[in-house]
């Protein structure tokens, strides 16, 4: 087998919403060698769809992963999909990429999937999503961490359709308001779409119950902002990202799709960056 043949990557996406379709669009533009989207899992595969990857097969259930010879299953369908597809993904692919990290606030589910991954030799991969890269925080956690805080600031529009609308008047907001403060577990449970990313920072650092999360609605914010601060034996870290919202879904960031593209390309690249 040649080096190029060994670097093939056959992908199955679970979900084909705003994030997945953006990833597909970027992969089609960039055409990384060896990468092929061979399947897309959806709830109703019989429904006609446009803009699907050329040649991709539509599937409707986890049992259909058998025989597809996929290398990586990428979940981008929301928290319930992690439990539905997780075991099958870990049995039929070498990697299961979980974008809806809020599913891991369920300790029993996480324990089950870790046990399956251990048995099959597959891996659960949590991408950095809207945070871009958390290597520094993950490295710092090798020594004791004293504190980690993750502040998420978004325009009022991005909080519509969430519990924030019950807590503050998003339509008439005239100034920045911190409407939630709690642990990463609490934030992800209460705001699974908007604060899903808090689980990512928590898993990279000191865990779901020690990571403090603050949620903010700010009418002056033009982008989705993440501010992460950490302190511990390594020193002090301050990270700030201002992400453009995804054009088709303001609750998500363009960086969420870009981080998945980077993860996919690094899986086949001769130089990992």
The catalytic residues are 226
Q: Is 130 within any annotated ligand binding site? A: yes
Report d(CA 146, CA 222) in Å as an integer: 32
Q: What SS3 string covers 158-206? A: HHCCCCHHHHCCCCCCCCCEEEEEEEHHHHHHHCCCCCHHHHHHHHHCC
Q: Is 196 annotated as a binding-site member?
A: yes
User: What is the DSSP pairing of strand 35-41 with strand 9-14?
Assistant: parallel
What contacts 271, CB < 8 A, 6 or more positions away?
none
Roughly how many angstroms between the first and final C-alpha of the chain, as a whole number?
25
Class of residue 85 by CB neighbours under 10 A (exposed 0-12, middle 13-18, buried 19+): buried
CB 168 within 8 A of CB 217: yes
* Binding site per annotation, positions: 130, 196
* Binding site per annotation, positions for NAD(+): 130, 196
């Amino acid at each position: 087998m040649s080096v190029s043949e060994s670097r093939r990557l056959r992908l199955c996406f679970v979900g084909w919403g705003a994030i997945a379709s953006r990833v597909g669009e970027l992969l089609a533009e960039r055409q990384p060698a060896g990468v092929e989207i061979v399947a897309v899992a959806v709830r109703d595969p019989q429904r006609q769809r446009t803009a699907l990857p050329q040649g991709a097969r539509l599937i409707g259930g986890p049992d259909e992963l058998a025989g597809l010879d996929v290398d990586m299953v990428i979940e981008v369908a929301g928290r319930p999909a992690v439990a539905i597809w997780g075991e099958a993904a870990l049995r039929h692919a070498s990697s299961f990429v979980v974008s809806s990290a809020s599913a891991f606030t369920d300790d029993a589910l996480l324990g089950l999937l870790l046990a399956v991954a251990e048995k099959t030799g597959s891996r659960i991969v949590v991408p950095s999503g809207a945070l871009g890269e958390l290597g520094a925080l993950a490295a710092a956690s090798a020594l004791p961490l004293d504190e980690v805080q993750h502040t998420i600031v978004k325009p009022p529009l991005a909080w519509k359709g969430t519990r924030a609308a019950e807590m503050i008047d998003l339509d008439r907001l005239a100034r920045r308001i911190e409407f939630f403060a709690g642990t990463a577990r609490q934030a992800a449970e209460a705001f699974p779409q908007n604060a899903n990313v808090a689980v990512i920072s928590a898993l990279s650092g000191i865990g779901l119950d020690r990571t403090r999360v603050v949620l903010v609605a700010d009418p002056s914010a033009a982008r989705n902002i993440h501010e992460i601060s950490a302190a511990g034996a390594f020193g002090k870290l301050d990270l700030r990202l201002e992400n453009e919202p995804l054009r088709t879904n303001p609750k998500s960031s363009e960086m969420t799709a870009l981080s998945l593209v980077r993860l996919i390309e690094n899986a086949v690249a001769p130089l990992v960056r």
